[in-house]
Amino acid sequence: MNRAWAVFKAHPYLSNILGYTTLFASADLIQQSVLGGKHTAGSSRGIDWRQTVRVATVGFCFHANFNYHWLRGLEKMLPGGGVKAVAGKVVVDQMIAGPLTISAFYIGLGLLENKDDPLEDWRQKFWTSYKTGVVFWSTMQAVNFALVPPVARTAFVGGIALAFTIYLCHLKHQCRHKLE
């Protein structure tokens, strides 16, 4: 474990990005395996691998990179782990990062799915996702900002995002199949 932590500390950007992307893809696989129902063409043994690749692509291209830089910038803007700093980080995170990351998820997937209207899922699911996210992420980010060292915060967010991304994938999946 010490060796893994040493590699992580030596290469924080790469470690965070790869770890976050893996967790994002895992969230889609879990959603499909546990919560999913009917799958689209191209499925193999019930898993739509193209969908998982799309979710991983959104996770890699936007979420992992955004969170890595966002969390570093937030720490510089509001340094420390005291109650005032943690509360400030949580509020700013929910006002800026929350809407951006949820929007990137739905719009990014809409674009990768070549939808005629890539904003459709965003319009239908944003507010539900955001309201749930404010409750979930405020708690998780308070723990993150208070207890996790800055070098590991993106990986921690990636681990927590696993649960929230399962929720988003399920919500997106429900929307798609209600329309069919």
Task: State which residues form the domain around 119.
Answer: 2-179
| Whether pLDDT at 4 is above 90 | no
| 173 pLDDT more than 90 | no
**Cα gap 158→26, rounded to integer Å:** 11
Tokens standing for residue 121 = 């899922």
Cα end-to-end distance, the chain, whole Å: 47
The answer to whether residue 41 scores a pLDDT higher than 70 is no
Q: Do 27 and 33 meet the contact criterion of CB atoms below 8 Å apart?
A: no
Among the residue ranges 37-41, 120-124, 159-163, the one predicted with the least confidence is 37-41
CA-angle at 94, arms to 71 and 25, nearest 5°: 65
Which pLDDT does position 1 carry in this prediction?
A: 67
> What's the structural domain count of the chain?
1
